[in-house]
Amino acid sequence: MLLDEKALLADGASLEIALRAEARGLAYRLAWGAAGDWLVCYERTAGKADRRILRGRAEPYEFRSVEQLRYDFERDVEALGGELGEAP
């Protein structure tokens, strides 16, 4: 496991970030919203293709780099009115 963090943000939303090195490369999950009902989620997990989920609608995602993944995730959170500031 490279990174595994979960936080409750000041606005009451949850944030989950997980990065793991696996045989096929990097597995990741960046999620924001209510745990189990994420408003924004980017993930690559075993047996699944890269995908982006916005308000329950999944679509393919082209992973380019960790930096681009972070940028895309933060942009989508902000577009839905969220803030990813420091956890209280």
pLDDT > 70: what percent of the chain? Answer: 94
pLDDT in tens, 56-87: 999 999 999 999 999 999 999 999 988 886 54
CA 19 – CA 7 distance, rounded (Å): 15
Q: What is the mean pLDDT of residues 2-31?
A: 89
Burial 8-25 (b: 16+ CB within 10 A, else e): ebeeebbbbbbbbeeeee
Q: What is the mean pLDDT of residues 45-51?
A: 83
CB-CB neighbours of 6 under 10 Å? 12
pTM for the model stands at: 0.86
Average pLDDT, the chain: 88
pLDDT > 90: what percent of the chain? Answer: 59
| Chain mean position to CA 14 | 11
How do the domains of the chain map onto residue ranges?
3-79
**How distant, in Å, are the alpha carbons of 41, 50, 70 from that of 85?**
17, 26, 14
Highest mean pLDDT, choosing among 8-12, 23-27, 67-71: 67-71
Is the pLDDT reported for residue 32 higher than 80?
Answer: yes
- Answer yes or no: are the C-beta atoms of 88 and 10 closer than 8 Å: yes
